[in-house]
Amino acid sequence: MGNDQALIRLEGLSKVFYTEEVETHALSNVDMEIRSGEFVSIAGPSGCGKTTLLSILGLLDSPSDGRYILDGEPVESLTSGQRSRIRNQAIGFIFQAFNLIGDLTVYENVELPLTYRSMPGAERKERVMAALERVGMAHRVKHYPSQLSGGQQQRVAVARAIAGKPLILLADEPTGNLDSQNGNQVLELLKELHADGATICMVTHDPRYAHEADRSIHLLDGRVVSTDDVGREVLQEAGFGVS
């Protein structure tokens, strides 16, 4: 795929949740593009639709209306099996709560998604160790998540996400459960991965972290209110108090 084509394109995307007789419009007529090699933040206050949007981008949920085109292919035409395969091979997920499996070692947590591919064991080991080296956690391969700090757990989660060499990394509030020092370290790691060529889409409610991306898409009440290069004025217009 050439850089003249968006890796992700959303056209008029909407998502409505129905509970009893109440309709909740989580997303309304969202248009956006993410190109290969970009670091994009999706920013906005709690409840604005950020996580819903990321769930749709990660094929964990489906829109109620509109189109989602991933790497040139319309997502609505995919079968359930195809969606699962793309989630495993083309999308790397980094969650706020780390989502590591407690009774698996660091090595086993990073290896797990690769076991669902037809990949020789030697290649799996090479990828796992390369990913752990990349995030500075290769010395903890035999440790369990409970033996790690929050910042270390998130580094392992990043290793798990990049071991599969995905088209895009989707990070949902990756610093949300960390103190400021560990949060800054994880953000620096994401910036290093981006500098190495990774495409990253990060959801955050924190304007400090949104500011670090190449470009920020601001949501308010399920709608895009601005999409531009990140700057102090743009953040303030989107309702962030930036001092």
pTM across the whole model: 0.86
Number of domains in the chain: 2
> Do 44 and 7 share a domain, yes or no?
yes
Looking at residue 14, its pLDDT comes to 95
Pairing of strands 6-19, 168-172: unpaired
> Do 5 and 67 share a domain, yes or no?
yes
Q: Describe the strand order of the beta sheet including 22-35 as a list of residue ranges.
A: 22-35, 6-19, 65-70, 73-74
Mean pLDDT within 171-195:
91
DSSP string, 161-201: HHHT--SEEEEESTTTTS-HHHHHHHHHHHHHHHHTT--EE
- Residue 236 above 80 pLDDT? no
- What residues make up the domain containing 115? 96-165
Q: What confidence tens digit (pLDDT) does each residue in 8-60 have?
A: 999 999 999 988 888 888 999 999 999 999 999 998 888 888 989 999 999 99
> Do 72 and 184 share a domain, yes or no?
yes
> Do 109 and 83 share a domain, yes or no?
no
> Do 21 and 136 share a domain, yes or no?
no
> Do 175 and 84 share a domain, yes or no?
yes
- Residue 174 above 50 pLDDT? yes
Of 114, 132, 165, the one marking the end of a domain is 165
> Do 72 and 124 share a domain, yes or no?
no
Q: What confidence tens digit (pLDDT) does each residue in 127-172 have?
A: 999 999 999 999 999 999 999 999 999 999 999 999 999 999 999 9
> Do 181 and 72 share a domain, yes or no?
yes
CATH code (residue 218)? 3.40.50.300
Looking at residue 138, its pLDDT comes to 95
> Do 172 and 83 share a domain, yes or no?
yes
Of 165, 194, 210, the one marking the end of a domain is 165
> Do 184 and 234 share a domain, yes or no?
yes
Q: How confident is the model at residue 227 (pLDDT cuts 50, 70, 90)?
A: low
Specify whether the CB–CB gap between 205 and 45 falls below 8 A: yes
